[in-house]
């Protein structure tokens, strides 16, 4: 009896949390079927599932996912490599961080996707342009957070390391780097979100395949069912990547002994 | 010898008051160098001709756009959409976030939905919103709202949930009612978290309004960006990108200024 | 004759009484309770200054929270003037180890806070009076982060006194302060106690502090905490810092040391065994 009560208490959050989704699906379906809502404009859960099946069988989803994944991987990977390198150097050499501060502030909210027409001409339609846009909007938070992490390393730790005769390189590897992991992770977490935005927005304006391209294309041709399939998949990828970043963060904390 | 070094070290450590002006000087000099390099790169045609306008050309284009009123007319529209969407997301997001932090059932009910909306690229909803609400200002306001409301909910919730346990106990010890606990401890305590949420919301809102206007509209900064872009008028395009970036920076910096005032709260 | 004995009866009936109190916590993931304090019986008279000492984890803070009504014992009862405690009340006020000051309020606002919660607008004169009593005049407009640790706890003390409680519950209030500030604050507390005769229950792990302040020291064992001794401190009042160096004080100190050290050794043995 108490076992059942405990189990109920444990699944309560899951049940409650699933409720809004369930209500949304049911109400949506009912309203669409009873023609209260225009099915062409708002689609309906059953129509979306049907579209999903069709897209799976004709390979549209697979193609979109592959294209977006490649763009994401290159754009995000490039941002991490460049962002961490620049960030570390910036954090270590103060004058450089002063010098780069204004352009970085400006870049934080810059609408880089507006440059897509020029990028398309320079780099070509599709992957190169999308990667460039993704890189441009992703690299900034990674640079800023990495630099902050390196800059905010506890001076007492650095002084202690120096008193034991550590070289600059040793201080960097054994003190500054582990100490800046939390900042780095914050930057990466922001970066994941922004890279996803970059891929989708980049494909809106400069893509020729991919999830963002499909969303835009299906919306433009009023194939709402197909558009919703891509939107739902984009949302699921967002959840998946965020969970991954959180897990990585926890794992790194445990590795540093702060678990 | 080592004594002298030590003394010098201490002096250097105590110099932050004077450090400020070298930082500004460095930044200024770097800007000048950057602009000069950009000018030269454009002049020598390092990038395919016409696609990297020189800073001087950008400035000329900007002055022209400002003079014939095109800039201000469109900026006004974007600003209005931005402000209305943001106001709406503040009005909905903060109360909802605080409620979710305060009532367990409300939180359990909506947290997964909010988490999905928080994790997904919300700009993927722009085409859908345009299909539903048309290409006018309403759809832009909706995009800004959806962009901004989620970080405010998330941070409102966190602000209440991460309330200082010792302060909650203090209020309980002095016989505080639930309402008093909320108004006097939880609400003021979540201000820093809410401000951080507002900063995030502004970032999403700026991107949202420009993207939505670029996607489908006949006016606003995004429309200007899109039309100059498709005509390959690079100077105008660069000028507009810089204007939007600067506006976004200004809005964020204002919130940051308020945030730094609250930083001093944090007890050492 | 009858009347006199009745009067004596009233005088002898305790202000605070703990009967066979057991305090336990349960983590949500576990099904069994972990007992932190057990079989605690205490009778505290009106106006008495009682200190509770014991090794860390002996449940002394939990006992204090239970007297305040923030925590419910799972067995036994706590009576104040014969009435069982079920929730925090206006007759009790607490001073916290971690100060628990509202960082967004000034000293004035923090001192007024308790009065505010207990009904209506506090009068500025009253707030001012307690700020003066704890020696913080001139700092009314400062925020907590601008104050030293000792000054912060003065604010906490003023806030508790300002609601005019009958019982002052102090949870290691000077635990976060350095040794020197601690001694100063102990002296200050006694000075204020002479003015505002309250019943005080003061939890500490500092033996000297416990002796210096108390009429009676309650010594508790390691977890689950039980009362292992009660020591009446017969040092004359008002107490002065010099008394800390007196032979009588040293005697109390060594007595308490012995009691706690035996406890401590027991604890160490258990650790080895575990």
Put simply, the answer to whether C118 touches B191 (Cβ < 8 Å) is no
pLDDT of residue A172: 80
Mean pLDDT of all residues belonging to chain C = 87
Phi, psi of C181 (to 5 degrees): -60, -35
DSSP C146-213: GS-HHHHHHHHHHHHHHT--SEEEEESTTTTS-HHHHHHHHHHHHHHHHHS--EEEEEES-HHHHHHH
Cβ-based neighbour number of residue B11 at 10 Å:
9
Place of tokens 């919306």: A219
Q: How far apart are CA A238 and CA B264, in angstroms?
A: 35
Query: What six digits make up the tokens of A241?
Result: 């990547």
Give the model confidence (pLDDT) of B134-159 as tens digits. Answer: 999 999 999 999 999 999 999 999 99
**CATH number, domain at A82?**
1.10.3720.10
- A23, part of any domain: no
Is the confidence at residue B2, as pLDDT, over 60?
no
pLDDT of residue A212: 95
Say which range, A129-133, A172-176, A215-219, has the weakest mean pLDDT: A172-176
Mean pLDDT of A84-103: 89
Give the model confidence (pLDDT) of B31-61 as tens digits. Answer: 899 899 888 888 887 766 667 888 999 999 9
Number of structural domains in chain C: 1
Put simply, the answer to whether B229 touches A116 (Cβ < 8 Å) is yes
Query: What six digits make up the tokens of A186?
Result: 């914050």
pLDDT of residue A9: 77
Interface test with A, best of B21, B123, B124 (most A CBs within 10 A): B124
The closest CB to that of B173, out of C68, C104, C143, belongs to C68
Let me know: does A134 contact A198? Beta carbons within 8 Å: yes
B residues 187-206 closer than 8 Å to C (CB)? 188-189, 191
Is B2 near chain C, with CB under 8 Å? Answer: no
* Contacting residues of B for C117, CB less than 8 Å apart: 171, 174-176, 180, 184
- C74, part of any domain: yes
- C161, part of any domain: no
Q: Would you say the ipTM is above 0.85?
A: yes
3-state class of B183 per DSSP?
A: helix
Interface test with B, best of C100, C161, C164 (most B CBs within 10 A): C100
Confidence grade of residue B265 (pLDDT, cut at 50, 70, 90): low
Let me know: does C220 contact C227? Beta carbons within 8 Å: yes
Put simply, the answer to whether B206 touches A109 (Cβ < 8 Å) is yes
DSSP E strand boundaries for chain C: 16-25, 34-44, 49-53, 75-80, 83-84, 92-95, 167-171, 199-204, 216-220, 227-232
- A17, part of any domain: no
Angle CA(C137)–CA(C142)–CA(C144) in degrees, nearest 5? 110
Is B83 near chain A, with CB under 8 Å? Answer: no
Q: How far apart are CA A235 and CA A48, in angstroms?
A: 14
- C224, part of any domain: yes
Which residue in chain B has the smallest CA separation from A230? B124
The closest CB to that of C103, out of B169, B171, B267, belongs to B267
Is the confidence at residue A7, as pLDDT, over 70?
yes
Q: What percent of chain A has pLDDT over 90?
A: 58
- C184, part of any domain: no
Is B172 near chain C, with CB under 8 Å? Answer: yes
Give the model confidence (pLDDT) of A21-44 as tens digits. Answer: 999 999 999 999 998 888 888 899
pLDDT of residue B21: 67
Q: How far apart are CA C93 and CA C170, in angstroms?
A: 8
pLDDT of residue A180: 86
Q: How far apart are CA C69 and CA C102, in angstroms?
A: 22
pLDDT of residue C268: 45
Closest CA to A230 of A251, A246, A209, A253: A209
CATH homologous superfamily for the domain B55-263: MetI-like (1.10.3720.10)
Confidence grade of residue B5 (pLDDT, cut at 50, 70, 90): very low
Mean pLDDT of B233-247: 94
Give the model confidence (pLDDT) of A95-130 as tens digits. Answer: 888 888 888 988 988 999 999 999 998 898 999 999
Query: What six digits make up the tokens of C128?
Result: 């001012």
Let me know: does A64 contact A246? Beta carbons within 8 Å: no
pLDDT of residue B15: 40
Helix axis angle for A45-58 and A2-33, nearest 10°, is 90
Please, which residues bridge with residue C170 across strands? C95, C202
Interface test with B, best of C87, C103, C114, C149 (most B CBs within 10 A): C103
DSSP E strand boundaries for B1-141: none
Question: Per this entry, what is the length of chain C?
Answer: 274
Distance of CA B50 to CAs A116, B57, C274, Å? 15, 11, 78
Q: How far apart are CA A192 and CA B118, in angstroms?
A: 12
Is A37 near chain B, with CB under 8 Å? Answer: no
Interface test with C, best of B174, B176, B177 (most C CBs within 10 A): B174
pLDDT of residue A94: 84
- C171, part of any domain: yes
pLDDT of residue C273: 39
Rounded to a whole number of angstroms, the distance from the CA of B95 to the nearest CA of chain C is: 21
B residues 12-41 closer than 8 Å to A (CB)? 22-24, 26-27, 29-31, 34
Cβ-based neighbour number of residue B76 at 10 Å:
13
- Residues 6+ positions from C267 with CB-CB distance below 8 Å: C55, C222
- C87, part of any domain: yes
Rounded to a whole number of angstroms, the distance from the CA of A236 to the nearest CA of chain B is: 7
Q: Which residues of chain C have pLDDT under 70?
A: 1-12, 28-30, 120, 263-274
Please, which residues bridge with residue C22 across strands? C75
pLDDT of residue C10: 52
* Sheet hosting strand C49-53, strand order edge to edge: C92-95, C167-171, C199-204, C49-53, C216-220, C227-232
3-state class of C101 per DSSP?
A: coil
- Residues 6+ positions from A51 with CB-CB distance below 8 Å: A43, A225, A226, A228, A229
Say which range, A79-83, A252-256, C116-120, has the weakest mean pLDDT: A252-256
- According to DSSP, the β-strands at C92-95 and C167-171 are parallel
- A3, part of any domain: no
Let me know: does C167 contact C199? Beta carbons within 8 Å: yes
Residue spans of alpha helices (H) in B120-233: 126-133, 137-161, 165-173, 178-181, 187-189, 191-215, 221-230
Put simply, the answer to whether B241 touches A111 (Cβ < 8 Å) is yes
Phi, psi of C19 (to 5 degrees): -115, 110
Residue A11 DSSP code? H
Query: What six digits make up the tokens of C113?
Result: 């806070």
Size of interface B-C (CB pairs under 8 A): 58
Is A235 near chain B, with CB under 8 Å? Answer: yes
pLDDT of residue B1: 30
Range of the domain at A85: 46-255
- According to DSSP, the β-strands at C49-53 and C92-95 are unpaired
Please, which residues bridge with residue C231 across strands? C217
In our burial notation (b when 16+ CB lie closer than 10 A, e otherwise), range B171-204 reads: bbbbbbeeeebbebbbbbbbebbbbbbbbbbbbb
Mean pLDDT of all residues belonging to chain B = 87
- A38, part of any domain: no
Mean pLDDT of A197-209: 94
The closest CB to that of C163, out of B172, B174, B188, belongs to B174
**CATH number, domain at C66?**
3.40.50.300
pLDDT of residue B6: 33
Confidence grade of residue B12 (pLDDT, cut at 50, 70, 90): very low
Q: What percent of chain B has pLDDT over 70?
A: 88
Number of structural domains in chain A: 1
Angle CA(C260)–CA(C262)–CA(C267) in degrees, nearest 5? 90
pLDDT of residue A2: 58
- Give B144: exposed, middle or buried? Use CB within 10 Å, 0-12, 13-18, 19+: buried
Mean pLDDT of B107-133: 94
Give the model confidence (pLDDT) of B167-215 as tens digits. Answer: 999 999 999 999 999 999 999 999 999 999 999 999 999 999 999 999 9
* Contacting residues of A for B151, CB less than 8 Å apart: none
Q: How far apart are CA B76 and CA C39, in angstroms?
A: 74
């Amino acid at each position: 009896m108490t076992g059942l009560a405990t189990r109920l208490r444990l699944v309560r959050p899951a049940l409650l949390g699933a409720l809004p989704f369930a209500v949304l699906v049911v109400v949506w379906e009912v309203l669409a079927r009873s023609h209260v809502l225009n099915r062409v404009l708002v689609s309906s859960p059953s129509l979306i599932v049907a579209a999903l099946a069709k897209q799976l069988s004709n390979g549209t989803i697979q193609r979109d996912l592959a294209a977006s994944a490649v763009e994401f991987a290159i754009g995000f990977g490039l941002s991490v490599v460049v962002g961490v390198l620049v960030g570390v150097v910036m954090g270590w050499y103060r004058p450089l961080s002063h010098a780069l501060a204004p352009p970085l502030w400006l870049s934080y909210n810059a609408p880089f996707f507006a440059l897509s027409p020029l990028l398309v001409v320079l780099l070509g339609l599709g992957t190169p342009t999308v990667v460039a846009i993704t890189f441009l909007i992703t690299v900034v938070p990674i640079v800023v957070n990495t630099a902050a992490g390196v800059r905010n390393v506890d001076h007492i730790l650095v002084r202690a390391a120096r008193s034991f005769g550590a070289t600059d390189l040793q201080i960097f590897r054994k003190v500054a780097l582990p100490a800046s992991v939390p900042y780095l992770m914050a930057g990466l977490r922001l970066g994941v979100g922004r890279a996803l935005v970059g891929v989708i927005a980049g494909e809106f304006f400069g893509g020729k395949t991919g999830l963002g391209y499909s969303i835009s294309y299906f919306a433009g041709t009023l194939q709402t069912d197909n558009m919703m399939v891509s939107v739902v998949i984009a949302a699921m990828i967002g959840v998946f990547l965020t969970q991954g970043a959180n897990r990585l963060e926890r794992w790194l904390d445990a590795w540093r002994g702060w678990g | 010898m080592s004594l002298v070094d030590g003394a010098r070290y201490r002096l250097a450590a105590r110099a932050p008051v004077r450090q400020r002006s070298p930082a500004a000087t460095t930044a200024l000099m770097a800007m000048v160098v950057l602009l000069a390099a950009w000018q030269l790169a454009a002049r020598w045609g390092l990038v395919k001709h016409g696609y990297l306008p020189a800073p001087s050309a950008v400035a000329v284009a900007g002055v022209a756009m400002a003079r014939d009123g095109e800039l201000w007319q469109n900026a006004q529209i974007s600003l209005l959409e931005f402000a209305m969407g943001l106001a709406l997301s503040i009005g909905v997001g903060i109360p909802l976030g605080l409620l979710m932090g305060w009532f367990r059932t409300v939180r359990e009910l909506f947290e997964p939905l909010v988490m999905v909306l928080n994790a997904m690229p919300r700009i993927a909803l722009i085409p859908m919103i345009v299909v539903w609400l048309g290409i006018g200002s309403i759809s832009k306001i909706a995009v800004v709202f959806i962009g901004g409301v989620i970080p405010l909910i998330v941070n409102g919730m966190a602000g209440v949930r991460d309330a200082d346990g010792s302060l909650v106990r203090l209020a309980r010890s002095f016989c505080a009612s639930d309402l008093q606990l909320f108004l006097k401890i939880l609400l003021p305590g979540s201000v820093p978290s809410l401000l951080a949420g507002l900063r995030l919301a502004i970032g999403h809102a700026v991107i949202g309004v420009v993207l939505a206007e670029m996607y489908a509209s006949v006016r606003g900064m995004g429309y200007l960006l899109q039309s100059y872009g498709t005509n390959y008028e690079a100077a105008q395009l660069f000028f507009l990108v810089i204007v939007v970036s600067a506006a976004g920076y200004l809005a964020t910096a204002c919130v940051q200024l308020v945030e730094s005032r609250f930083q001093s709260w944090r007890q050492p | 004759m009858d009347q006199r004995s009745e009067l004596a009866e009233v005088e002898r009936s305790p202000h605070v009484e703990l009967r066979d109190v057991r305090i336990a916590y349960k983590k949500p993931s576990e099904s069994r309770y972990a007992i932190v304090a057990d079989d605690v019986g205490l009778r505290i008279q009106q106006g008495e200054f009682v200190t509770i000492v014991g090794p860390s984890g002996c449940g002394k803070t939990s006992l204090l929270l239970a007297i305040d009504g923030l925590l419910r014992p799972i067995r036994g009862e706590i009576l104040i003037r014969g009435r069982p405690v079920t929730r925090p009340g206006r007759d009790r006020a607490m001073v916290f180890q971690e100060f628990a000051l509202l960082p967004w309020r000034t000293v004035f606002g923090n001192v007024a806070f308790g009065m505010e919660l207990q009904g209506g607008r506090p009068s500025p004169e009253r707030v001012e009076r307690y700020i003066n009593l704890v020696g913080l005049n001139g700092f009314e407009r400062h925020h907590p982060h601008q104050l030293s640790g000792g000054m912060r706890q003065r604010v906490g003390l003023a806030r508790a006194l300002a609601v005019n409680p009958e019982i002052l519950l102090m949870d290691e209030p000077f635990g976060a302060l350095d040794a020197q500030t601690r001694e100063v604050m102990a002296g200050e507390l006694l000075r204020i106690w002479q003015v505002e005769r309250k019943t005080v229950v003061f939890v500490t792990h500092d033996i000297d502090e416990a002796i210096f302040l108390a009429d009676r020291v309650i010594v508790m064992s390691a977890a689950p905490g039980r009362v292992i001794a009660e020591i009446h401190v017969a040092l004359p009042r008002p107490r002065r810092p010099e008394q800390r160096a007196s032979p009588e004080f040293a005697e109390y100190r060594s007595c308490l040391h012995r009691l706690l050290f035996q406890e401590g050794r027991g604890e160490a043995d258990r650790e080895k065994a575990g």
